[in-house]
Structure 1
Amino acid sequence: MKNSVVVVDDHTLLLQAIGGLVKDFDDFEVQYLCKNGQELLDKLKNPANIPDVVLMDINMPVMNGIETTQILTKEYPQIRVLALSVEESEETILKMLRAGAKGYLMKDTKSSILNEALKQVLSKGYYHTNTVSKLLVNSLHKEDEAIQLKEREKEFLQHACTEMTYKEIADKMFLSPKTIEGYRDSIYEKLNIKNRIGLVLYAIRNGLFTP
């Protein structure tokens, strides 16, 4: 059974072109297309319209990609959002990831990379290119220096940068999964991030993990 994808983009030709690319992927099918975030949210009121992944543009009328992703993260956490935009600014990328996007791709990305990104977003929970990672690292200011993490939180953070599941991290640290979830939620709140990619980027920026 193929995984369902919804494409959200206000440019009709791009919307159709991206949909056409996804249709050619063996493991994915396009469930439907939307021209803005509000149109997507209206569609999602019907449970039958909830997809596995949303390919989200950023700049759109009525409701933009960042606002829409924030709502999806809160109300439809099972949907994986993958940003697909022409926006290259560090600020925009960071805002989108903090809103809950699981990855960020440029619209000129090769179809093979888009295919791989969709697969990894579903299998690993996130996908980011080296270029986007470097942009995010360069966008960091000294605001992180004021954040204090406990030693066990730092240890958890280092493990979170690997491909280990949270259960495997719990076993590694000889702690219960519930305690690990507590560490994760505490760090999310301290760092003002919403996903695992944020943990990885913070750890790289602060020398806690070397990829």
Structure 2
Amino acid sequence: MNKEIIIVDDHQLFTHSLQILVNSFEGFEVSRTFKNGEELVHYFNENKTPSDLILLDMRMPIMNGLETMAWLKQNLPEQKVLALTVDQEDEHIIKMLRLGCRGYLLKDIDPEMFEHALNSTINTGYFTNKTISDAMSHEERKKNYHALTGREMEFLTHACSEKTYKEVAKDMNLSPKTVENYRESLFSKLQVRSRVGLVMFAIKEEIFKV
């Protein structure tokens, strides 16, 4: 049986092209498309059965990606969602992950990587662009995580919030340079390259719960 995919995106031409692409992947089928989150909510209010995966745009009229993700977290927390968008704002990415989004893709993603993202999310529950390297270094990251200092753990918790690094520095009563040093130290120890990577690691290891 094919995995059922729902697309939520207000750009109809993109949605049509995406539907053709997804349907070309073995074992996948787009079951429904919606132009905004409100249409998706109406559907789920009538039919509470989750789909295998939702591909969710961020910038939509009436009910955008963040609002839709918040509703899903409240009403269908088991529903797997991948953001598929042009929005690259760190703040929005972190908010989506905190709301339970399983991964964040940009619309210029390579089709082969996109297919891999679908499979990874459905089979493992999450997708990052460093899936293979993360798997190879998982044990080392866990060892390094247990070796983090109290202040590094405090910084990691702050990194999972919506605060800017400047605000984190103020809350931790540190200089922005010291906070930058904590950030680079965690990047190295946990083998991630971005704040999003820190949040994904924290979610996977249940350091931070969505």
Report the TM range for the smaller structure's normalisation.
Answer: 0.5 to 0.7
Gaps of 5+ in 1: 147-160, 162-194, 204-211
Cα 1:25–1:89 shift into 2, 3 Å: same
Deviation for aligned residue 1:52: 1.0
Deviation for aligned residue 1:78: 2.3
Code of the residue aligned with 1:141 in structure 2: it is Y
Deviation for aligned residue 1:200: 4.9
What is the TM-score normalised by the length of structure 2?
0.63
Count of equivalent residues: 151
Code of the residue aligned with 2:203 in structure 1: it is L
1:34 matched residue in structure 2? 34
1:109 matched residue in structure 2? 109
Deviation for aligned residue 1:128: 1.5
Deviation for aligned residue 1:123: 1.2
2:203 matched residue in structure 1? 199
Deviation for aligned residue 1:140: 6.5
Conserved 8 A contact 1:53-1:79: yes
Gaps of 5+ in 2: 135-158, 173-189, 191-198
Cα 1:81–1:197 shift into 2, 3 Å: farther
Deviation for aligned residue 1:71: 1.1
RMSD over equivalenced CA pairs, Å: 3.0
In 2, the alpha carbon distance for the partners of 1:115 and 1:51 equals 17
Identity %: 34
Give per-residue Cα distances to partners, 1:60-105, cap 9 Å, x unaligned: 0000001101111221122100000001121121111112110000
1:141 matched residue in structure 2? 165
Deviation for aligned residue 1:29: 0.6
Deviation for aligned residue 1:43: 1.0
In 1, the alpha carbon distance for the partners of 2:52 and 2:201 equals 19
In 1, the alpha carbon distance for the partners of 2:117 and 2:94 equals 18
In 2, the alpha carbon distance for the partners of 1:31 and 1:49 equals 13
In 2, the alpha carbon distance for the partners of 1:27 and 1:11 equals 25
1:46 matched residue in structure 2? 46
